Amino acid sequence: MTWTFEPQLERASTIPARYYTDSAVLDEENRSIFARTWQLAGRADQVAEPGQFFTTKVAGEPLLIVRGNDGVVRAMSNVCRHRAGPVARGEGKRPVLQCGYHGWTYGLDGRLLKTPEFDGVAGFERESCALPQFRVETWLGLIFVNTEMAQGHEALPVHILLAGAVIFGGGVALSVVSKASSVRLWGARCPKCGHSVKRGHIYCEDHFQQAIDQARERLRTR
């Protein structure tokens, strides 16, 4: 990717046509953008009950979204730790998750439970073979996943990044999504009462949930 962005509009040009079809460009976008930011994975009602799951991909990463018996929604790698087969396919409801290749079986929390015909293997530690997990959040009935696992990187919560986009129809000024970034949303005061707000927030604590409820009602009645 060698094309140089020209910030002066009178000298600007469109990106090369190959950027729309070149697989190398897509790979770079997955690594640099989609794998490092919140991406929509599915709906919360797909995993409304313990044991319900669905599979998807984010930035090329096969994911398994499942609600555990503890009620927690998890986003896990859908790649078996044995021979890299899929742990689940499509969507459904199961008490455990089993790879169809050699029958390795995982709990709904990602722990490895059973390894058929694997007894006696020297140095094998079942506890170290749990399915890797990624950050997942639910907001307004939607499930978002961030696959970034780099040390020191922590994306801002989804409700902070997206609440303003719903409430104000997209009129939000954000500068980057990392924890260390300076984030400015309209101003430093709540638009309802004028009180100061926390960094990254649109409203004060008293009016934040009220604004979310109003936004949710607008979406419901559309």
Q: Average of pLDDT values for 166-182?
A: 37
Q: State residue 98's pLDDT score.
A: 94
**CA dist 183 → 28, 111, 177 (Å):** 26, 37, 8
- The token duo for 175 is 């500068």
Whether residue 68 lies inside any domain: the answer is: yes
Find, among 136, 165, 138, the residue nearest to 174 by Cα: 165
User: CA-CA distance, 58 to 7, in Å (whole number)?
Assistant: 30
Q: State residue 97's pLDDT score.
A: 95
Residue 84 φ then ψ, to 5°: 65, 20
Q: Does residue 195 share a domain with residue 136? A: no
Whether residue 22 lies inside any domain: the answer is: no
Taking 3-state DSSP, the helix, strand and coil percentages for the chain, each rounded to the nearest 5, stand at 25, 20, 55
Of all helices (H) and strands (E), which one includes residue 215? helix 205-220
Q: Are the CB atoms for 42 and 26 separated by under 8 Å?
A: no
Q: Does residue 195 share a domain with residue 163? A: yes
Whether residue 206 lies inside any domain: the answer is: yes
Q: Does residue 80 share a domain with residue 127? A: yes
Q: Average of pLDDT values for 149-155?
A: 55
pLDDT digits (tens, 9 = 90+) for 80-103: 999 899 999 999 999 999 998 899
Provide the 3-class DSSP secondary structure of residue 125: coil
* Residue 69, amino acid: N
Q: What is the DSSP string of 107-124?
A: -TTS-EEE-TT-TT-TT-
User: CA-CA distance, 214 to 220, in Å (whole number)?
Assistant: 10
**Largest Cα–Cα distance of the chain, in whole Å?**
70
* The last residue of a domain, from among 146, 173, 196: 146
* The last residue of a domain, from among 146, 170, 190: 146
Q: Does residue 105 share a domain with residue 185? A: no
Q: Does residue 172 share a domain with residue 138? A: no
Whether residue 7 lies inside any domain: the answer is: no
Whether residue 124 lies inside any domain: the answer is: yes
Q: Does residue 162 share a domain with residue 134? A: no
Q: Does residue 49 share a domain with residue 130? A: yes
pTM for the whole thing?
0.68
Look-up: residue for tokens 């984030």? 183
Percent of the chain's residues with pLDDT above 70: 73
- The token duo for 95 is 């008490």
Q: Print the domain residue range for 46.
A: 39-146
Q: State residue 120's pLDDT score.
A: 74
What pLDDT band is residue 171 in, cutting at 50, 70 and 90? very low
What pLDDT band is residue 184 in, cutting at 50, 70 and 90? very low
Give the count of domains, the chain: 2
**CA dist 184 → 163, 171, 194, 199, 203 (Å):** 13, 12, 16, 7, 12
Q: Give the domain CATH number at 50.
A: 2.102.10.10
